[in-house]
């Protein structure tokens, strides 16, 4: 006796029950659940049945079934990640993932943030880290970045002391500016009277900068400070941006005694006679020009973009995206281009693109 298909609108008959079940499973017009032996009206009702039945482990987005919950979760993380909403800090272009924004910068596609700007910003972050490590390491016997700066100041102070102490030739005989300065000091420098109130008022009064500068010999007077020095950075920032915080300056690493730049890298300490050579060194593989190493799994990547894509992926071998210090790590490696701020609705990390002023 022939067995009719259990769907009312299907009039096909089969020789066996198994043949009929095979028909319902393969027939596109039938929404049949073979696991539970349930005939559903359409695909939507079948999807609702799968979601509401513990026997099914299916993706809540595409209804694809899995043998384990771990397989389903991995599928959701890889194929159904929540889209990011990122805006390039330079050209304001929109991106849906951190890796795509990083690719935009590294491929030199941004009209504002050039590739060399990004690379120098990464070098700056690395130097800041090395300087901090050197300063906070109690067992470090090498001079830190602050030590190099103090050494430079010390060299200036020593040279000034030699002039004041008369160990060098008397500058009065060779420098006419000094003679005029001495004459002006003698004519204006009068000792205070015996009136105690007048003496007290002199010492309590704040000395003006003009008086202080007038009492310094021209030969040892510092050059006029650059009013924009506070805003100078290692990189040439876009003209429209205003850097409101003082940052790393290459001149900090100039040794006045040796007349050369000293790289503050933790394991570098190379020296350079010219500023351009020092900048090229910072862009080389010795600092940021080479491969990017993941701090968590130690895997090497050819580009920063590849490492960011690695962090965005649902890899179980590396869990750096869930580390408590991930925001600082990604800011350091990307030079401040990317950061993190909480989580998305699906539990994935929410990436942010800070403004240039926040780098």
- pLDDT means per 10 residues in the chain (359 residues)? 88 90 91 90 89 88 86 81 88 92 92 84 75 68 47 41 44 52 52 52 45 45 45 38 42 80 74 80 65 89 91 84 90 90 86 87
Examine the domain organization and report whether 28 and 67 are in the same domain.
Answer: yes
Residue 65 lies in a domain: yes
Examine the domain organization and report whether 7 and 75 are in the same domain.
Answer: yes
Examine the domain organization and report whether 58 and 107 are in the same domain.
Answer: no
Residue 293 lies in a domain: yes
> Can you give the pLDDT at residue 127?
73
Q: Classify burial at 75, counting beta carbons within 10 Å of its beta carbon; exposed 0-12, middle 13-18, buried 19 or more.
A: middle
In this structure, are strands 31-33 and 38-40 parallel, antiparallel, or unpaired? antiparallel
Residue 136 lies in a domain: no
Query: In total, how many domains does the chain have?
Result: 2
Examine the domain organization and report whether 50 and 102 are in the same domain.
Answer: no
Residue 230 lies in a domain: no
> Can you give the pLDDT at residue 254?
81
> Can you give the pLDDT at residue 265?
67
Mark which of 25, 56, 79 sits at the end of a domain: 79
Taking the CB of residue 263, how many other CB atoms lie within 10 A of it? 21
Q: For 207, which DSSP code?
A: P
Q: Let me know how long the chain is.
A: 359
Residue 71 lies in a domain: yes
Domain carrying residue 48? 3-79
Residue 27 lies in a domain: yes
Mark which of 79, 102, 131 sits at the end of a domain: 79
Query: What region, left, alpha or beta, does residue 166 occupy, with left being phi > 0 and alpha being psi -120 to 50 degrees?
Result: left
> Can you give the pLDDT at residue 174?
52
> Can you give the pLDDT at residue 32?
92
Residue 124 lies in a domain: no
Examine the domain organization and report whether 27 and 94 are in the same domain.
Answer: no
pTM (whole model) above 0.75: no
Residue 309 lies in a domain: yes
Mark which of 79, 102, 127 sits at the end of a domain: 79
Please choose, from the candidates 30, 32, 26, 235, the residue with its C-alpha nearest in 3D space to the C-alpha of residue 115: 235
Examine the domain organization and report whether 8 and 68 are in the same domain.
Answer: yes
């Amino acid at each position: 006796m022939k067995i009719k298909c259990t769907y009312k609108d299907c009039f096909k008959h089969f020789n066996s029950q198994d043949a009929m079940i095979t028909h319902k499973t393969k027939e596109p017009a039938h929404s049949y659940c073979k696991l539970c032996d349930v005939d559903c009206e359409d695909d939507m009702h079948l999807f609702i049945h799968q979601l509401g039945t513990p026997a099914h482990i299916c993706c809540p987005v595409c209804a694809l079934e899995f043998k384990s919950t771990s397989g389903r979760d991995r599928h959701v993380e890889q194929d159904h990640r929540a889209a990011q909403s990122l805006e390039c800090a330079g050209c304001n272009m929109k991106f849906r993932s951190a890796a795509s924004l990083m690719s935009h910068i590294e491929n030199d596609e941004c009209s504002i943030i050039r590739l060399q700007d990004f690379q120098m910003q990464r070098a700056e972050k690395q130097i800041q880290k090395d300087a901090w490590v050197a300063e906070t390491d109690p067992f470090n016997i090498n001079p830190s970045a602050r030590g190099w700066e103090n050494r430079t100041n010390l060299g200036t102070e020593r040279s000034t002391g030699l002039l004041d102490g008369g160990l060098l030739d008397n500058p009065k005989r060779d420098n006419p500016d000094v003679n005029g300065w001495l004459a002006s000091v003698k004519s204006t420098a009068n000792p205070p009277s015996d009136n105690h109130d007048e003496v007290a008022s002199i010492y309590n009064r704040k000395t003006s900068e003009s008086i202080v500068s007038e009492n310094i010999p021209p030969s040892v007077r510092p050059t006029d400070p650059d009013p924009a020095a506070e805003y100078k950075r290692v990189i040439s920032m876009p003209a429209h941006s205003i850097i409101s915080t003082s940052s790393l300056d290459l001149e900090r690493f100039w040794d006045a005694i040796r007349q050369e730049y000293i790289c503050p890298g933790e394991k570098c300490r190379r020296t350079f006679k010219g500023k351009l050579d020092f900048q090229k060194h910072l862009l080389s593989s010795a600092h940021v020009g080479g491969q990017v190493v993941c701090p968590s799994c130690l895997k090497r990547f050819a580009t920063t973009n590849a490492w960011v894509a690695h962090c965005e992926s649902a890899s179980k071998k590396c869990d750096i995206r869930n580390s408590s210090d991930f925001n600082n790590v990604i800011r350091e490696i990307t030079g401040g281009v990317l950061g993190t701020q909480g989580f998305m609705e699906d539990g994935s990390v929410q990436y942010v693109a800070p403004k240039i002023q926040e780098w």
